[in-house]
Amino acid sequence: MKSQIEYKLKSAPEDAISSVKFGPNTNQFLLASSWDGNVRLYDVLANNLRHKYSHDAAVLDCCFTDAVHAYSGGLDATLKSFDFNATKESTVGTHAGPIKCVDYCSEVNAILSGSWDHHVKIWDPRTPMCNGTYNQGERVYTMSVCGDKFIVGTALRKILVWDIRNMAYTMQKRESNLKYQTRAIKCFPNKQGYVLSSIEGRVAVDYLDTHPDVQKKKYAFKCHRIKEDGMEKIYPVNAISFHPAYNTFATGGSDGYVNIWDGFNKKRLCQFHQYHTSITSLSFSHNGAVLAIACSYFLGEENLPDPMPEDVIYIRTVTDQETKPKYVSQG
């Protein structure tokens, strides 16, 4: 029996869901971008669609800057913003290629967009204008803000660490600890490091401090693998989301599973039931009480399933038992 409370959001996207993000300081408002060319704002408590705005092509990422402003980008290479109070959309600017990542750095009030054109752009939301364009050397696949730093994962397994206050040079250039293409990067809420995942059923925990004693703590582990008939099937790890209070994190894979990990103690805390198709994005709400789980078929196999699995966003209430490190006293 499912004791946890979990339900499907109504008015789901009509094509693959690329990203789900809870708003700041809320368990109520969720943004979702989709290959159907739309960005949707949901009220997950009322289970309804509040707003929807569109791009000219698939939308690959979206983010909130505050409770009422969203930014998004995708295959149309255009960064858009939407004011939910005024129900007004505006075009902020463009890249030379598709925009893969959109993120917000609250510490300096800046929007970051990362593109397959090899560049990250920094935008001032007040004007709105571009404050700088920075070459990452390769296609940008994933990005995560870490206080006033941000981490970029590109093609060819390159990892770049930037300090947003001084973009004159790259702080660190690294190579992924994983052997295969980087799929997702997320920073620890305590800003000490990041977790990255690859298309090959592995996750790495890494630290920003380059001191040898700190670097000794980094490690990688296998996950999202299923043994069938003596064979191990290996799946991409598409999504990572951190619990904001506990520094634990959820991973979602093309195997349809969500796992929750205690990265510091190298333990899996729990695994949810198997979902009907790939997990494409995950987002904990601001206090970690709720997890949004986006399920869409991810184009990975030659033969498309028929019928195609439906695109669903599940809203799941999570418990301390599932998300809290075991060694912490339950005081």
pTM: 0.95
Q: Tell me what pLDDT residue 17 has.
A: 97
CA 121, CA 131: separation in Å to the nearest integer? 7
CB-side exposure of 102: number of CA atoms within 13 Å?
A: 34
Q: Hey, how many other C-beta atoms are within 10 angstroms of the C-beta on 303?
A: 5
Alpha helices in 131-230 (DSSP H): 212-215
**Structural domain boundaries in the chain:** 6-323
Q: Tell me what pLDDT residue 3 has.
A: 47
| Regions of the chain with pLDDT less than 70 | 1-4, 299-302, 328-331
CA 280, CA 235: separation in Å to the nearest integer? 12
Q: Tell me what pLDDT residue 2 has.
A: 47
CATH of the domain spanning 6-323: 2.130.10.10
User: Got the DSSP string for 244-276?
Assistant: TTT--EEEEETTS-EEEEETTTTEEEEEPPPPS
Residue pLDDT, tens place only, 36-57: 999 999 999 999 999 999 999 9
